[in-house]
Amino acid sequence: MQKGENLPGSAKFRPEGAVRMHSNEPGNTYDLLVPWSLRLTNSGEYAHAASWNGGNIGVRSTSHGCTNLNVADAKWFYTFSRIGDVLTYANTGGQKMPSWDGYGDWNLAWGVWRAGGVVPGSR
């Protein structure tokens, strides 16, 4: 959906595709500029570099929902990807993002999509 974000009050992008991520959740507060970030959903799912989590990537799930990548892999993925690309996660039990949470038409069965999607009377 989006690669990086604009600098506040500017039309220029932050360096290295960075996005400001923050949480005020008790016991889990942070305010970070996270490089090589690709927004996957409206609700805040990203694939991004996570240098602080390197020992866990590919071993155990320690993210709060985003896809953590090693810095080199995140940079490659950021450079390679285009807005609108489909991202598929293997071995996750077939859970899909809701069709309303981003560019998710591919989450719909072909017959549902052809009939106008999930919005009643949209045809």
What is the pLDDT confidence band of residue 119, given thresholds at 50, 70 and 90? low
Question: How many separate domains does the chain show?
Answer: 1
**Across-strand partners of 3?**
38
pLDDT given for residue 7 in this prediction: 92
Higher pLDDT, 90 or 71: 71
Q: Is residue 93 part of a domain?
A: no
pLDDT given for residue 103 in this prediction: 64
pLDDT in tens, 26-67: 988 889 999 999 998 888 889 999 988 888 888 887 877 788
**Calpha distance 103→82 (Å, rounded):** 13
Average pLDDT score, the chain: 83
Q: Is residue 102 part of a domain?
A: no
Mean pLDDT, range 15-33, rounded to an integer:
91
Query: CATH number, domain at 75?
Result: 2.40.440.10
The closest alpha carbon to 107, from 93, 91, 92, 95, belongs to: 95
Q: Is residue 25 part of a domain?
A: yes
Q: Is residue 97 part of a domain?
A: no
**Calpha distance 70→78 (Å, rounded):** 12
Active site residues: 48, 66
DSSP secondary structure, 7-74, as one string: PTTSSSBPGGG-EEEEEEETTEEEEEEESS-EE--TT--EEEE-GGGTTTTTTS--SSSSEEE-HHHH
Q: Is residue 59 part of a domain?
A: yes
Q: Is residue 15 part of a domain?
A: yes
What is the pLDDT confidence band of residue 123, given thresholds at 50, 70 and 90? very low
**Does the structure show a pLDDT above 90 at 114?**
no
Read off φ and ψ for residue 66, nearest 5 degrees. -80, 165
Q: Is residue 61 part of a domain?
A: yes
Domain that holds residue 25: 2-84
Q: Is residue 52 part of a domain?
A: yes
**Does the structure show a pLDDT above 80 at 77?**
yes
What pTM did the predictor assign?
Answer: 0.76
